[in-house]
A and B are shown apart, each in its own frame.
Chain A
Amino acid sequence: MEVLYFAWVRERIGLPRERVETVATTVAGLVEELRAREPRYEAAFADLKALRVAVDQKLADFDAPLAGVREVAFFPPMTGG
């Protein structure tokens, strides 16, 4: 699936998006896999309360299932307007 990062999450990881092969069944499982990769991922995902997630471009929870999902995005709370 495609994993996208925005704002300071993008800056900490150093990528706007990447293709990820995962065996995780939920967003939380995907986060655990990513955190285990490298310190920059660990730094980005250190505080999940500071993060929001979208699954296939809809806001979702960390326990959202990943079956059939094409795109997951991680970002800080939004500051539009």
Chain B
Amino acid sequence: MVVQSAPFDLGAEAEAFGRAPGIGAVVTFSGVVRDLGDGLAAMEIEHYPGMSEAALEEIARAAVERWSLADVLVIHRFGKLVPGERIMMVATASAHRKAAFEAAEFLMDYLKSRAPFWKKEYRADGSEWVAAKGDDEDALTRW
């Protein structure tokens, strides 16, 4: 699990991931700074160094155990990103697709509200912290 400020190459990461024998399904998801043409100039992502990496490791470990994943990858960026840039990605690999899809959703649900990252939006008229959604917390109850 990687927390970095630099961009990552989704294609190269996906290509290199899940190559072990016995793997029949690879799911990748990537989160992007939405470009809605609504004046968003940048998205800044703050994290808690040390805890953010540990939280991702713990969430990934839980997913591997629960779905018997063959492999898992999480990359999450921090710093200032512009609309269209990739914020993060997860990849899961398993023998069959159901486990890979479910585990990817589980990883996303948990890292949205249990990993210490915070987003701030910058616009021409100022900046604002993104508020957590109640839905994100509710999403955890299905697991």
A residues in contact (CB < 8 Å) with B: 4, 6-8, 54, 57-59, 73, 75-81
Contacts and interface: CB of A to CB of B under 8 A. Distances in A.
Contacts of A57: 48, 50-51, 54
Contacts of B111: 80-81
Contacts of B116: 6, 54, 73, 75, 78, 80
A20 B111 CA distance: 30
**Interface SS, B side:** mixed
Contact of B48 (A6, A77, A79, A81): A6
Interface residues of B, number: 26
Contacts of A76: 118, 129, 132
A49 to B, nearest CB: 12
B117 A80 contact: yes
A75 B118 CA distance: 9
Interface string B42-80: 000010101100100000000000000000000010000
Nearest to B116: A78
Contact of A7 (B46, B114, B137): B46
B119 interface: yes
A78 B132 contact: yes
Given A73-B51, A76-B129, A81 B46 contact: no
Interface in B10-37: 31
Contacts of A8: 129
Nearest to B137: A77
17 contacts: A4-B48, A6-B46, A7-B46, A54-B48, A57-B48, A73-B51, A75-B48, A76-B129, A77-B113, A78-B114, A79-B118, A79-B132, A80-B88, A80-B111, A80-B113, A81-B108, A81-B111
Contacts of B130: 79
A7 to B, nearest CB: 4
Interface in B86-117: 87-88, 108, 111-117
The list of the 6 closest CB pairs from A to B, nearest first, reads A80-B117, A77-B132, A57-B51, A7-B118, A81-B112, A80-B115
